[in-house]
Amino acid sequence: MKKLSENVYKVASPVYVSAHYSVVGKMESEGPLADCFDERIEDEKFGQETFEKGESQLLITAARGAIKKSGIPQSDFGAFLSGDLENQIIASSMAARVLGIPYLGLYGACSTMAESIVLGSFIMSAAKEKAVLCGACSHFCAAERQYRFPLEFGCQRTPTAQWTVTGAGATVLGSRKSAIRITNMAIGRVIDMGVTDANNMGAAMAPAAANTLKSLFDATETTPADYDAIVSGDLGQVGHDILLELMEERKLPLIKEKYFDCGLMIFDREKQDVHAGGSGCGCSASVLNGFFLRAIEKGEMKRILFMATGALMSPTSSQQGESIPGVAHAVVFEREEESR
Amino acid sequence: MTYLWCFLIGGGICVIGELLILLTKLTPARILVIYIVAGVILSFCGLYRPIVELAGAGATVPLTGFGYALWEGTRKAIEEQGAIGILTGGLGATAGGIAAAIVFGFITALITEPKAKHE
Amino acid sequence: MDKKERRQQAYQRLVEKHSHSSNFAQGLFRAFWVGGVICVIGQCFADLARILFEFTDSQAAGFAGICLIFTTAVLTGLGVFDKLAQYAGGGTIVPITGFANSVISPALEFKKEGFVLGTGAKLYVIAGPVLTYGISTAAVLGLFYFLYGVIFP
C-alpha cells in the first residue's frame, strides 16, 4: 500500500476481485438492470418474519453466493466487512452470526460498499490474507420504517426524495490473480455544505463526491477521460446534476456519457415512481457487483472509478435540525489482462 | 346546495394543506398539528361556526373541524358546568373520534399484517 | 458573514437550481377533488344519521367522523390508503382520514416490536402531538373564556 496523498492510496501488493454476487428485491427486478443481478427475489421478507431479518437474509445470500463463486474455502477468509442502514447495523451482524467469518461491522450509510472494499484491501495487504469478504445491503421497508414513516402512512414523497433499494452485494477480495484488480483508493473526507433536508440526500452528498474525485484525480495524475466509467453510488438526479456542475468548477469536467449513477441506473424513473432515483447501501452494492464488475470481467470496460456516497445523518440528528454530513469513498478497478 | 358547498369548502381546506406541503418543508405530522390548533383558534374567535353552517361536513371533516369540536365542547361545558369544563369539555366532545381511531387502529393491527410497498 | 456561510449559501442556490419542485397545479387539483369528495361522503353519513337515528347536528358530525375513521382503518389494513394518499396528498391528510391513518399505520407497522411497546406505544407517535396541541389550545382558550365570563357576567 503506497500513500499518494493525504487520502489517496495506491494498492502496491496486488489485490484482486475473486468473485462478486448481487441479490435484489422485486422492484429492482422490474428495473432496467434486472438481468445483471445474480439473484432476484419476489418475497420482500425473503421467507423471514420481519423486514429486518429479510434484509439480513439478502446479505447472507449475497455473501454465500460470492464465496461459492470464488471457490475459496470459507476457512481461508480472514475477515468479513459489512454494513447496512439499520440501527446498530443489525442486518450485517445477524449475517455475520450465520457466516462465522471474523467480522468487522461498518457504518458508512450508502457509502458502505466502497468503505468495505477500501478497508478490505488494507487488511489484504497488511495481513497477507488469502481472501476478505466485503458486503453491504439495504431494504426499502426496513429503512422506511426506521428513518421516515410507517409504510402504511399516507404521505407524499417530494420529487427530490430517493427510493431505498432492496438489495445486497458481496465482493470477495483475493490474493490470487483474477480479471479484476484494485489499483487506487481514496478515503473520503466528510463535507457538509449545510443541507438539512433528509429528502434531498443527493444534494447533501454531492460536495463530498466532488472532493473525493478531485483528490483522486490529483493524486493519481489522471483525468475523467482516463476512465471507461466513473460511477457514483446514489446521488440521484439532483446530486448527479450538481456533481457535474461542481466538477466543471474544479476544471475536471466529467464526460456525460461515461459518468453513471447507480441510483439512476437501477430504476426506470419514467415507469417506476421512485422520484430522484434509488439510494441505500444496497444500491451501489448491487449495481457494482451486478453490472460494473461483470463489465470489466467481460472486457467491456478496462478501468472504472467506483465511488459510493453516503449521507451520514441519523433520525435524531435530522429531528434536531442538524445538517447532513456527506462522505464519498472511491475505488479504482482495472482489468488485469491475462498473460497466458 | 349544502353538498356543493361541502365539496368546495372541504376541497378548498385540503388545497391549503397541499400548498403547505408543496411550499414548505412541513411534515404531515406538523400540518396536522397546525390544522387542529388553527381550528381551535378560529372557532374561539367565532370565525369557524359560519363555515360549518354553510358547508356542513365540508368544514367538520377536515382536521380544523376536529379543532372546532374541541372548542365547542369546551365552551358548552364551561357554560353548563363552570370551571371544570375547561378540562372536560374538549375531550368529551371529541371522545368518539379519538376512541374510534385508537380502537380501530388496534383492531387493524390485530387482524392485518404490514405489507411491503412497491411504488 | 464569514466565508463558510457564504459558501454554504452559494451551494444552497446551486441545490435549488437542480431540485425540481412538484407539479404544482396537478397537486392542488388532486388535493381539491379528493378532499372535496371525502367531505361529501362525510356529509352523506351525517345526513343518514340525522334521518335514520334522529341525531343532533353535532352528534351527526361525530358519527360521520367515526364512519370515515372506520373506512380509513379498512383501507389502511388493506394497504390501499397509502397509495391513495400518494395521489391525493393534502386531500387525504387534512380530513379526519389523515388523522385516523396516522394512528392506524404505526399501530400496524410496529406490531413486530410487540403489542405493548410496538403497537400500544407507537400508535400515538404522530397523533400524540396533534392531540397534545389541540387539547392544550382548547384548555388555555377555555380558561380565558371562563375568566371572561366571571369578570363580565
Q: Which of B102, B16, B23, B9 is nearest to B52 (CA)?
A: B9
* Gap from C142 CA to chain A (nearest CA, Å): 32
Domain boundaries, chain B: 2-111
Please give the pLDDT value at position B118. 56
A324 touches chain C (CB under 8 A): no
CB A144 within 8 A of CB A86: no
A336: which residues sit within 8 A by CB, 6+ positions away? Answer: A16, A177, A178, A179, A180, A181
| pLDDT reading at B115 higher than 80 | no
Residue A232 Cα to chain centre, angstroms: 9
Please give the pLDDT value at position A181. 96
* Gap from B44 CA to chain C (nearest CA, Å): 7
Among C15, C87, C97, most A C-beta atoms within 10 A, so best to mutate, is C15
Whole-model pTM?
Answer: 0.92
| pLDDT reading at B117 higher than 80 | no
Q: List A231's β-bridge partners, or say none.
A: A260, A306
Please give the pLDDT value at position B94. 94
What chains are in contact with A, requiring at least 3 Cβ pairs below 8 Å?
B, C
Please give the pLDDT value at position A338. 65
Interchain pair A152, B25: CB under 8 A: no
CA distance A241 to B83: 61
DSSP state of A87: G
* Interface size between A and B, measured as CB pairs under 8 A: 30
CA distance C135 to B89: 10
Ordered per-residue pLDDT tens for chain A, 340 residues: 899 999 999 999 999 999 999 999 999 999 999 999 999 998 888 999 999 999 999 999 999 999 999 999 999 999 999 999 999 999 999 999 999 999 999 999 999 999 999 999 999 999 999 999 999 999 999 998 888 788 888 887 888 889 999 999 999 999 999 999 999 999 999 999 999 988 899 999 999 999 999 999 999 999 999 999 999 999 999 999 999 999 999 999 999 999 999 999 999 998 998 889 999 999 999 999 999 999 999 999 999 999 999 999 998 998 899 999 999 999 999 999 865 4
C52: which residues sit within 8 A by CB, 6+ positions away? Answer: none
Other CB atoms within 10 A of residue A162 CB = 28
Please give the pLDDT value at position A329. 97
Please give the pLDDT value at position C24. 85
Tell me if residue A231 falls in helix, strand or coil: strand
Burial profile A124-137: b = 16 or more Cβ within 10 angstroms, e = fewer: bbeeebbbbbbbbb
Q: Which residue is listed with cell 444500491?
A: A283
B23 touches chain A (CB under 8 A): no
Please give the pLDDT value at position C19. 85
Q: Which residue of B has its CA nearest to C71?
A: B104
Other CB atoms within 10 A of residue A141 CB = 23
* Gap from A44 CA to chain B (nearest CA, Å): 6
CA distance C50 to B10: 20
DSSP state of A50: S
Domains located in chain A, CATH noted: 2-174 (3.40.47.40), 183-335 (3.40.47.40)
Among A24, A40, A44, A49, most B C-beta atoms within 10 A, so best to mutate, is A44
Selected residues 32-51 of chain C with any CB under 8 Å from a CB in chain B = 32-40, 42-43, 45-46
Please give the pLDDT value at position B35. 96
Please give the pLDDT value at position C1. 60
pLDDT digits (tens, 9 = 90+) for B8-33: 999 999 999 999 988 887 888 999 99
A35: which residues sit within 8 A by CB, 6+ positions away? Answer: none
Count CA within 13 A, CB hemisphere, residue A304.
26
Residue A190 Cα to chain centre, angstroms: 17
Count CA within 13 A, CB hemisphere, residue A122.
12
CB A160 within 8 A of CB A200: yes
In SS3 terms, B14-63 reads as HHHHHHHHHHCCCCHHHHHHHHHHHHHHHHHCCCHHHHHHHHCHHHHCEH
B118 touches chain A (CB under 8 A): yes
User: Which triple of cell numbers denotes residue B91?
Assistant: 375531550
Ordered per-residue pLDDT tens for chain C, 153 residues: 688 888 899 999 999 888 877 788 999 999 999 999 999 999 999 999 999 999 998 899 999 999 999 999 999 999 999 999 999 989 999 999 999 999 999 999 999 999 999 999 999 998 999 999 999 999 999 999 999 999 987
Residue B101 Cα to chain centre, angstroms: 12
User: Which triple of cell numbers denotes residue A199?
Assistant: 429528502
CB A157 within 8 A of CB A275: yes
CA distance A154 to A171: 38
Which residues of chain C lie closer than 8 angstroms to A247, CB-CB? Answer: none
Please give the pLDDT value at position A222. 96
pLDDT digits (tens, 9 = 90+) for C38-54: 999 999 999 999 999 99
Give me the residue from B28, B117, B119 closest to A141, CB to CB. B117
Query: What is the bridge-based pairing of β-strands A180-186 and A8-24?
Result: antiparallel
Which residues of chain C lie closer than 8 angstroms to A238, CB-CB? Answer: 15, 18-20
* Gap from C42 CA to chain A (nearest CA, Å): 19
Give me the residue from A154, A195, A200 closest to C92, CB to CB. A154
pLDDT digits (tens, 9 = 90+) for B29-61: 999 999 999 999 999 999 999 999 999 999 999
Model ipTM value: 0.93
